Chains A and B, each alone.
Chain A
């Protein structure tokens, strides 16, 4: 029987794939770069890259495991880079510091991906791979933490602005709520990756230790809920948000 953490991650993978494909299709219609970046980000990282990197070390046949891992790592890094540039394009389109920050973050992610892949190719012993990949993995985790802090801050900043607009009748309640959910998404990812970072720092194996595995899977399931509410909100939820806004309850969320 599949374990609960694995099922949580499977749910997150499937929902990310659906959300990502929908966003890519939408970007074709709207010719919008943000939709394309977000779409590629969700398809490449949580839907393809992450599961491929988890599955590859479990494969007995090295001839299959190696290409699966290499392609998975490329997807994972590409998705994370697109996520950084989505934040720039949407929230800080003209800011040089943001463009350079995303470029630097992407460079570190590419270097980390290369380092982690090299470690996987160098040995079949998981302890040796973990030891060799420790520095690049730590760099990747740090960049991801910073990117989620950025996501959460931009989301909450814009949510506060949208609330002021709502008071003047200049903003839609559902779109306003979407910014709050976006910041929650960032905070959730930050929480689970912080747990992983801590366990990485104390020398634990974050792929097998039950605490980081549980934190990652719990974060995955919470983020699944947020992704659904942001990108595919059920009519009942939309009605609830609109009703709450009319009664002024959203202001207290």
Chain B
């Protein structure tokens, strides 16, 4: 199951870039893979960095026409989310172990 941030980004990408659901999901998944993140527990803050740094490359390969506008819409969707770092992830657990 994907995090709420991932679902929001995917929805925004589908609407703004006119992508099919699975294409949008695939582009985000590949960008997350390059960032070492997982859809299940990625936060809005982490996704914003991915959108800035890695998503444009994936959208380019999907032949999206207006990449900056699509990324902007995804950023807007993420900005509307609150702090979604409620679910535990391995890095959060490991940062607590010696804290």
Binds B, one of A145-153, A159-167, A203-211, A215-223: A159-167
B71 to chain A, nearest CB (A): 16
- The answer, among A23, A165, A175, for a CB contact under 8 Å with B37, is A165
| Bound Cα distance from A160 to B90, whole angstroms | 13
What residues on A are CB-neighbors of B95 within 8 Å? 172, 175
- Given the known interface contacts A158-B90, A160-B36, A168-B35, the answer about A35 and B46 at a Cβ–Cβ threshold of 8 Å is no
The docked-state distance in angstroms from the alpha carbon of A160 to that of B53 is 19
- State whether B35 touches A170 (Cβ < 8 A): yes
Q: Does B80 contact A (CB under 8 A)?
A: no
B94-A170 in contact (CB<8A): no
A164 with B35, Cβ < 8 A, contacts A90-B90, A158-B91 known: yes
Number of residues from B at the complex interface, CB < 8 A: 22
Do B35 and A178 have beta carbons less than 8 Å apart? no
CA distance A154 to B91 in the complex (A): 12
- B88 close to A93 (CB less than 8 A): yes
A252 at the interface (CB under 8 A from B): no
A23, B98: Cα distance in complex, Å: 8
Contact sample, A vs B, 11 pairs, CB 8 Å cutoff: A34-B88, A35-B93, A38-B97, A93-B88, A94-B40, A164-B34, A168-B35, A168-B49, A168-B50, A179-B94, A231-B98
| Interface pairs A-B: 4 shortest CB-CB | A164-B36, A161-B36, A165-B36, A34-B93
| New contact pairs (16) apart from A161-B36, A165-B36, A170-B35, CB-CB < 8 Å | A34-B88, A34-B93, A35-B93, A89-B88, A94-B40, A158-B91, A161-B37, A162-B36, A165-B37, A165-B91, A168-B53, A171-B36, A178-B94, A178-B97, A179-B94, A232-B98
